[in-house]
Amino acid sequence: MTYTRTRQPILVLGGTGKTGNRVVRRLEARGHAVRIGSRSHEPRFDWDDAATWDRAVQGIRAVYITYQPDLAVPGAVETVRSFAETALKAGVRRMVLLSGRGEEEAERAEQALQDTGAEWTIVRASWFAQNFSESFLLDALRTGEVALPAGPTKEPFIDAEDIADVVVEALTDASHIGRLYEVTGARLLTFADAIGEISEASGRAIRYREIAAEDYAAQLAAHGVPNAYVSLVTYLFTTVLDGRNARRGDGVQRALGREPRDFATYARETATTGVWNIG
């Protein structure tokens, strides 16, 4: 059953982020009213300030929950649970959570949401392809060399466009209530493979070099990256990318009835924007 459009908006937390901005654009294109949940929008929303939550959830009919910086950080599970309870008290039952694949903490957050009694959908995603173009890997790619503590382990990188398509369907069609979608890309690639495809698509020589996790952490710290973020990124490379996710999921196929976008398609289309060019 597809929900009827109403004046009640759908709240998109992190509506300016990698998946959130894409979800906003799709919902608006379909004629749905949208409220962006962020510190720079009104009503203001801040994960670190629970006093902002009540106004953000008033009068909405559904919410897309993306927790920043990551569900793996300490306190995330309790915060997601508290937010969901706040939304339920305001009469919001429909909630779609973006979760991380292979993260025990993220799975605890998933369970916390389910335990509230909300009408939930879980979108459990693999590593985003857009981390190469809209996140911390971009600067290194522009220099022509990417040094990471990632060896031969393969990852089915997911395109954020596919995540957004799944989330929008989940937010607007009640048939997705109670479903967990493990969304991944079409192929398994090492980081070296992925960077090689970006190099080919962009027409630039980009070298991949494997380094030790402690050296990577030291490099981040030397560039002024906050300790909490250094710990998070190191955790993702050393724990989540230990081979546990070296398999495809079928979430895109189950939710959308089609195959996910291929990484090569992402690389070709992104290369045309010039984002990987020097300067």
pLDDT (tens digit, 9 = 90+) per residue, 148-197?
999 899 999 999 999 999 999 999 999 999 999 999 999 999 999 999 99
pLDDT in tens, 83-106: 999 999 999 999 999 999 999 999
The pLDDT confidence band at residue 3, using thresholds 50, 70 and 90, is low
Q: Specify whether the CB–CB gap between 50 and 89 falls below 8 A.
A: no
Q: What average pLDDT does the segment 118-143 reach?
A: 96
Residue 1 has pLDDT above 70, yes or no: no
Q: What pLDDT sits at residue 166?
A: 98
Q: What average pLDDT does the segment 221-238 reach?
A: 88
Q: What pLDDT sits at residue 6?
A: 61
Please, what are the domains in the chain?
10-128+160-184+247-260 (3.40.50.720)
Q: What pLDDT sits at residue 10?
A: 98
Q: What average pLDDT does the segment 252-277 reach?
A: 98
- The pLDDT > 90 percentage for the chain reads 86
Q: What pLDDT sits at residue 239?
A: 86
